Amino acid sequence: MSYIHWLRSKIGHRKTIIVYGVIVLRDEAGGVLLQRRTDFDIWGLPGGIIEPGENILECTRRELLEESGLLCGSLHLVGVYTDPQYDSVYPNGDQVQQYSVVFQGPLAGGEMQVDGEETSALAFFPPNEIPFAELPNFYADMIRDALRGGPPVFSPPFSLPDPVDQIAMIRPLLGPELYLGAGAIVAARDEQGRLLVVKRTDDGEWSLPGGYTNLGENVAYTAQREVLEETGCQVALERILGVYSPSSPWAYPNGDQTQAVITVFRARLAGGAPRPDRTETSQVGWMTCDELLQLETHPILRQLNQAVVENLEQGVFVI
């Protein structure tokens, strides 16, 4: 049973955050691959839902192959699309707030074939012939951003007036079983270049601040909200530093299992004074990059810290 079928058997049609890997595949002439989706009967981009045990790059490549028979080369991050304006209701009534990680890459082999299940047609469209007027707003935005190029895209922080705590909503329905979550982590620096860090109350680990996205907010809002809640500091988001999607689950002290896809932002301090909230964090402090790398911490956090430090100045990572 796929993850989404298992999840829906637990939560029904109610709105939930779903993580998608999506690709803007380009042929040698620069055309963009569009698929005719069988569920909505619309043109869209190849992609689909991440499964347990895979990272977001593996998800994207797998979905492309399953839906089109094609292979892609090196993938570059276009952006992360999480706004409530992109919410969808499937024909069967399933409600989704999407958390789509979008890549662009070249065609690298395979044989185009329509699977007849998720896809009814496939075609490469020259950029000037893409039927933007027929596309949902999220697909249109993804393609335009890919064609435009530049740093990975994210929308300015936004939240509806009545956001819903996704974890608090879904855990009573799932119990401790594996949940594929999504959220944000922030690498916020002070004037000396030190990074803002917190000591968590649940497991005692020192880490960069962050948390899960709520229903009704985008991931940039998640980033700012979590830093403020956990540290008392306000931050200005500068850019996407990376997307982190470890394929191994995180086990919380209470037994809850979560595999998360996390957008990592670089940010600067914009106000407030560091203080722990005494609920999620017991201490707040500043660490140099070297101090962060020297932490004796969980392997998932160690890999994240390494990627943050290596790419802090100019790079973008996806792992």
Q: Got the DSSP string for 108-148? A: EEE-----SSSEEEEEEE-GGG--GGGS-HHHHHHHHHHHH
Tell me the backbone φ, ψ of residue 4, rounded to 5 degrees.
-65, -35
Query: What average pLDDT does range 226-247 have in this prediction?
Result: 98
Q: Report d(CA 177, CA 189) in Å as an integer.
A: 36
Give percent above pLDDT 70 in the chain: 100
Using DSSP, state whether 298 is helix, strand or coil: coil
Report whether pLDDT(117) > 90. Answer: no
Q: Report d(CA 305, CA 309) in Å as an integer.
A: 6
- Terminal CA-to-CA distance of the chain, rounded, Å? 26
What is the pLDDT at residue 7? 98
Query: What average pLDDT does range 107-129 have in this prediction?
Result: 95
What is the pLDDT at residue 95? 98
Local structure of residue 185 (DSSP, 8 states): E
What is the pLDDT at residue 1? 86
Q: Report d(CA 257, CA 76) in Å as an integer.
A: 29
Query: What average pLDDT does range 189-213 have in this prediction?
Result: 95
pLDDT tens across 46-105, in order? 999 999 999 999 999 999 999 999 999 999 999 999 999 999 999 999 999 999 999 999
pLDDT tens across 7-24, in order? 999 999 999 999 999 999
Model-wide pTM > 0.95: yes
What is the pLDDT at residue 115? 85
Report whether pLDDT(118) > 90. Answer: no
Report whether pLDDT(116) > 90. Answer: no
Question: Degrees (nearest 5) of the Cα angle 231, 234, 236?
Answer: 130
Match 């039927």 to its residue by tokens.
131
Instruction: At 74, list the tokens.
Output: 């090196």
Element (H, E) at 9: helix 3-11
What is the pLDDT at residue 45? 98
Report whether pLDDT(188) > 90. Answer: yes
Closest C-alpha to 23, from 111, 108, 134: 108
What is the pLDDT at residue 268? 96
Tell me the backbone φ, ψ of residue 124, rounded to 5 degrees.
-90, 130
What is the pLDDT at residue 317? 98
What is the pLDDT at residue 228? 98
What is the pLDDT at residue 284? 97
Query: What average pLDDT does range 110-116 have in this prediction?
Result: 93
Give the domains, in start order, of the chain with CATH numbers: 3-148 (3.90.79.10), 179-318 (3.90.79.10)
